[in-house]
Structure 1
Amino acid sequence: MSQALVKIAAVWLLGLMLAVAGAIVSINLVNASIAGPQQPVREYLSALQKGDGEKALGLLRASVPQSNPAMLDGTALQTAAARISEVKLGAAEERGANQVMVPMEYTVDGNKLRTEFLLERSGTEWLFFHKWSFVPSELPVLDVTVVNSSEATLNGVPVNMPNGRNSFAVFYPGEYEATLNGQYFSAPATRATVSAADAPPASLNLLTEATGALKEAVSGKVKEFLDSCADEADKQQKLQPNCPFYHATNNRVMDGTIDWSITDYPSVSIEPFGGRWVVAPLDGKARIKARQQDLFTGAVSDIDSVHDFSFTTRLDIDGDTVKLTPQLDY
């Protein structure tokens, strides 16, 4: 009986030891996987991809600097995270004081990048499983400027640009694209990648240009002004009308014979200057046809002259309305 009890006790002891060993292995596996320091990073990245800025901010334990928060939620945040691919989380590296660094390698637009997340042990769950949290930090800020515009688009979201500039708090890692696609003004897209809290991203500078639609609108108004001016000069039979062009002669020009026309309309160039949009000097050619009589000989001859002219104009744009005010020196 005693030998049988000893054998039974030995079997139970062996089973208990195996169970304890199995439990220890299981705890270590859990602590190295779902309870490891990589898990908060996975949850944070998932929140970014879903555009859940509130959850991402809570997980990151980051403060928001004084800035525009338009990039911290929804479509803008999803777009920033959507450009991240080939994500690989590395093994945690000890940093002392119960802190570890979890490296993350990934690509953005084919460029290989690396972000390091600092986490700290913040307790245990169910007595055995480690609990990890991000070390508190502050979100980085992305500066955006745009020439002569009070608005732009950042990651697909319209944003206000007071005095042509603004600063946006952003999550990392992520890529941010600024554009301007207006009816009369546009700017090529420009991008910046934010990879860390302590690495300020390059500012996004939108170099605004006048669109073809604006140049056509201005060209149309210039043509309308010159044609109207020539018609009015014909009606008034003036050699020197209130127009950019004129003709001078010492002979007597016969009434009813003066005919002005524009032979070369100006090419329009619109550039930013001093916080406004200005039209470069407008150069063209005008033709006058008429009959004249020499005051000394009485001989009658034809006038057929082409004159170069140049003038400037003030451009004002209010929404969809384009206003052109010629500046003439009489």
Structure 2
Amino acid sequence: MSQALVRTAAGWLMGLMLAVAGAVVAINLVNNSLASPQQPVREYLDALQKGEGGKALGLLHATVPQSNPAMLDGEALKTAAARISGVKFGDAEDRGGDQVMVPIDYTINGAQLHTEFLLQRSGTQWLFFHDWSFVPAELPTLSVTVVNSNQATLNGVPVNMPNGRNTFAVFYPGEYEATLNGQFFAAPATRATLSGRDTPPAPLNLLTQATDGLKDAVSAKVKQFLDDCADQADKKQQLQPDCPFYHTTNNRVADGTIDWSITDYPVVKIEPFGGRWVVAPLDGKARIKARQTDLFTGAVTELNAVHDFSFTTRLDIDGDTVKLTPQLSN
């Protein structure tokens, strides 16, 4: 009996030791996976890529600086994180005081990037499993400017740009793209990649330009103005009409023979100036044909002269309406 009891007790003891060893292994596995400091980072990145800004902000324990929050949720946030790929987690590095640094390496648009997250041990569950949380910090910001516009698009979302500028709170890592694609004004896309809170991106500056659509609209109005001017000068038989072009002579020009035409229409250039859009001086050429008599000799000749002309015009845009007001000095 005693030997049987000893063997039974030894068996129970061995089983208990194996169970304890298994429990230790299981605890270590859990602490190195689901309860590891890398796990909150995984959940945070997942929230970014799903556009779940509230969850990401809660995980990060971050405060939002005084700024525009348009990039902190939904499609704008999903777009910022959409190009993050190939994420590799490094080993947590002890930083003292129950804090660790979790590094990740990844790519955005093929560029190799590195980000470090600081976490702290915040407790345990079931006596054995560690709780980790991000060390609270403030979100970084991204500055955007746009020439002569109060609107822009950032990560596909229309945003207000008071006086042509704004500052946006942003999550990291991520990529942010600013554009302006209006009917009359547009700016090439410009991008900024943000890899960390302590490495703020350079401001995104949108260099607005007049679109071909606006240039064509202004050119058509300039052409119409000049053609109408020439037609009115013909009807009134004027050498010096209320137009950018005119002709002076000491000869007598026969009524009914005056014929004005535009030979070279101005090339329209629209530029920003003083917070407005202005049309650069408009230069062209006009031809006058007529029959004239020399008052001294009485000789009758055909007048055929080309005159350079230049004028300016005021440009006003109200919604879809383009208005030109020629400024004539002669």
TM norm structure 2: 0.99
SS of the aligned residue for 1:18 comes to helix
Cα distance between partner residues in 2 of 1:294 and 1:176:
73
Partner residue, 1:328 = 328
Partner SS, residue 245 of structure 1: coil
Gaps of 5+ in 2: none
Q: What is the Cα deviation at residue 76 of structure 1?
A: 0.3
Aligned partner of 1:62 in structure 2 is 62
Per the TM alignment, residue 297 of structure 1 is displaced from its structure 2 partner at its CA by 2.5
Q: How far is 1:253 from its partner?
A: 1.2
Question: Which residue is 1:155 aligned to?
Answer: 155
SS in 1 for 2:107: strand
- One-letter amino acid of the counterpart of residue 219, structure 2: S
| Corresponding residue for residue 215 of structure 1 | 215
Q: Distance in 2 between matches of 1:83 and 1:64?
A: 24
- In structure 2, the residue matched to 1:206 is 206
- For the residue of structure 2 that corresponds to 1:55, the secondary structure is helix
1:171 corresponding residue in structure 2: 171
Over residues 81-121 of structure 1, what are the superposed CA-to-partner deviations in whole Å (9 max), with x where a residue is unaligned? 00111101111000000000000100011110000000000
**Which secondary structure does the structure 2 equivalent of 1:257 belong to?**
coil
Matched letter for residue 23 of structure 1 = A
* Distance in structure 1 (CA, Å) of the matches to 2:297 and 2:8: 147
2:185 and 2:273 map into 1 onto residues whose CA distance is: 14
Q: Distance in 2 between matches of 1:164 and 1:47?
A: 31
Q: Distance in 1 between matches of 2:273 and 2:72?
A: 34
Structure 2: distance between partners of 1:293 and 1:197: 83
- Matched with 1:114 is 114
Corresponding position of 1:49: 49
Distance in 2 between residues matched to 1:298 and 1:178, nearest whole Å: 71
Partner of 1:103: 103
CA distance in 2, matches of 1:110, 1:278: 41
- Counterpart position of 1:258: 258
Structure 2 residue aligned with 1:225: 225
Aligned to 1:318: 318
Q: Which moved more, 1:55-64 or 1:177-186?
A: 177-186
Match of 1:192 in 2: 192
Structure 2 distance, partners of 1:188, 1:26, is 55
Deviation (angstroms), 1:148: 0.8
- Residue 298 of structure 1 aligns to which amino acid in structure 2? G
Q: Distance in 1 between matches of 2:93 and 2:199?
A: 21
Shift of 1:313: 0.9
Cα distance, 1:291 vs. partner?
Answer: 1.3
**Residue deviations 1:205-255, cap 9 Å, x none?**
011111111110010000000001111111111111110100000011111
CA distance in 2, matches of 1:289, 1:190: 53
Q: Indicate the SS of the match to 1:188.
A: strand
Three-state SS of the structure 1 residue aligned to 2:305 is strand
Deviations 1:267-300 (A, max 9, x none): 1111111111111111111011111122222222
Distance 1:293 1:25 in 2: 115
- In structure 1, the partner of 2:6 is 6
**CA offset digits 1:16-70 (Å, max 9, x no partner):** 0111111011101100111100000000011001100000000000000000000
Looking at structure 2, the residues matched to 325 and 87 of structure 1 have their Cα atoms a distance apart, in angstroms, of: 58
Q: Percent identity?
A: 79
Which residue does 2:145 correspond to in 1? 145
Paired with 1:251 and 1:13, the residues of 2 have a C-alpha distance of 130
Q: Distance in 2 between matches of 1:19 and 1:327?
A: 95
Find the aligned partners of 2:131 and 2:298 in 1 and give their Cα distance: 110
Equivalent residue of 2:224, what SS? helix
Distance, in Å, in 2 between the alignment partners of 1:43 and 1:299 is 96
Residue 280 of structure 1 corresponds to 280
Match of 2:262, SS state, is strand
Equivalent position amino acid for 2:282 in 1 = L
Please state whether the residue corresponding to 1:227 is helix, strand or coil. helix
Q: Stretches of 4+ moved more than 4 A in 1?
A: none
**What amino acid maps onto 1:94 in structure 2?**
D
The TM-score, its normalising length taken from structure 1, stands at 0.99
Look up the SS of the partner of 1:316 in the other structure: strand
Partners of 2:317 and 2:125 lie apart in 1 by 64
1:124 & 1:142 partners in 2: Cα distance? Answer: 37
Q: Following TM superposition, by how much is the alpha carbon of 1:199 offset from its aligned partner in structure 2, in angstroms?
A: 1.4
Residue type of the alignment partner of 2:50: K
In structure 1, what is the Cα distance between the partners aligned to 2:130 and 2:213? 62
